[in-house]
Structure 1
Amino acid sequence: MPVLTPTLLNTERLALRWPEERDRDAIFAIYSDPAVVRYWSNEAWSTLAQADEWIASRRAGNADGSGVCLVVTLAGSGELIGTLSLYHFFEQSRRCDIGYAFGSRHWGKGYAYESLHVLLEYGFRHLDLNRIEADIDPGNAPSGRVLERLGFRKEGYMPERWIVHGETADTVFYGLLKSYWDTKPS
């Protein structure tokens, strides 16, 4: 893994940057929303201390190169609307997992696709990754559509892999190879 420095990635509508302590309230608003964490393995947050812990752990991961976490902000206003992560790096295989969450009032506006596109480009070009993997609940159809639009391919299905909010939950695995990315239509 290369040494990471504070990263700023931009699109026409968005700015992606490392999380900062000042992001506490906005990050808490995202992860305390039951709709956002419906398909996650954790309950909705209930205290601001959880946001502080999240920020500290993500900043530490960015600093030591064990992960890349960026917050997604609107370019015009600077409003924080989501988070993106590349994590669980397997250096020898040049692969990792990807994760993302967006505030529910920002769903359906193309922000996930737009920000993930620039993060994937960063991962394949700057971090020299060969493979990026995603693990989603099959009930989360919008997330599956975003991944497929980005070029991810469904690779597997595991029934009852997780216990989420007291219920068993299945997993659909997706993978994106650098070779898929390099040949994907724009």
Structure 2
Amino acid sequence: MEKMVYRVELDIMRVQPALAVTPVRAGVAPIVSSDWRQGLPTLRGTQVVLRELRASDATSLCALLSTEEVARFMSPPPTTVEGFERFIAWTLRQRIVGTYACFAVTLHGFDTAIGIFQIRETEAGFGTAEWGFAIGSAFWGSGVFQDGAELVLDFAFKTLGVNRLEARAAALNGRGIDQVLYSILESDRRVTRTPMMAASPVLVH
């Protein structure tokens, strides 16, 4: 993920709380709504479940996403639990406005947030949007990203009505290339079901 839209300039204390993966509690119903602005739908893949962020996700997200290994691939994330609580509250406000959607990434059978996927409007009405992600390094290379990415692509094109979805490689990310823009058009996705990783790179300056 190259950038996080949210900024917390005053969060200067880095903390690493202990992380325990929490099993899904019985009776916690997924959000069901015909309007994503009222609450993000719960998206289920083969490995992951993407759901609305909650204030209680702040502890695990701080532990997993504020590490140097993860944070060096994106604009500085919050560095305290309180900072992530403010970030989560901000994502909910932006979702209500209708310009931004941010999902918590969880594993099947567990309710602990291990990362996020986000989509932000860059053209009015989501004609063009940019998406990004951040996932705890313990889950890199496990297929979690690919599974979640397919869910997010479908949500972007089918629910948000995005025509062009863009993603930028992080400048310091060894897996990516600086100044390369990846984009997927809704028409290509609809006709060919192009996987995210098969999208064509376009050089930008």
What is the TM-score with the length of structure 1 in the denominator? 0.77
In the alignment, which residue of structure 2 is the partner of 1:175? 183
Number of residue-to-residue matches in the alignment: 159
Between the aligned partners of 1:74 and 1:137, the Cα distance in structure 2 is 25
Greater strand percent: which structure?
A: 1
Between the aligned partners of 1:106 and 1:3, the Cα distance in structure 2 is 28
Over the aligned positions, Cα root-mean-square deviation in angstroms equals 2.1
In the alignment, which residue of structure 1 is the partner of 2:119? 86
Would the aligned equivalents of 1:32 and 1:45 in 2 still touch at CA under 8 Å? yes
> CA 1:76–1:47 in 2, change beyond 3 Å: closer, same or farther?
same
In the alignment, which residue of structure 2 is the partner of 1:128? 161
In the alignment, which residue of structure 2 is the partner of 1:8? 42
Would the aligned equivalents of 2:121 and 2:129 in 1 still touch at CA under 8 Å? yes
> CA 1:45–1:14 in 2, change beyond 3 Å: closer, same or farther?
same
The percentage of counterpart residues that share the same residue type is: 26
Aligned-pair CA distance for 1:180:
2.1
Confirm or deny that 1:38 pairs with 2:72: yes
Would the aligned equivalents of 2:122 and 2:129 in 1 still touch at CA under 8 Å? yes
Between the aligned partners of 2:73 and 2:194, the Cα distance in structure 1 is 30
Q: Secondary structure at the match of 2:79?
A: coil
What is the TM-score with the length of structure 2 in the denominator? 0.70
Unaligned residue ranges in structure 2 (runs of 5+): 1-34, 196-205
Aligned-pair CA distance for 1:61:
1.2
Letter in 2 for 1:108: G
Letter in 2 for 1:184: R
Between the aligned partners of 2:152 and 2:193, the Cα distance in structure 1 is 15
In the alignment, which residue of structure 1 is the partner of 2:142? 109
Would the aligned equivalents of 1:138 and 1:172 in 2 still touch at CA under 8 Å? no
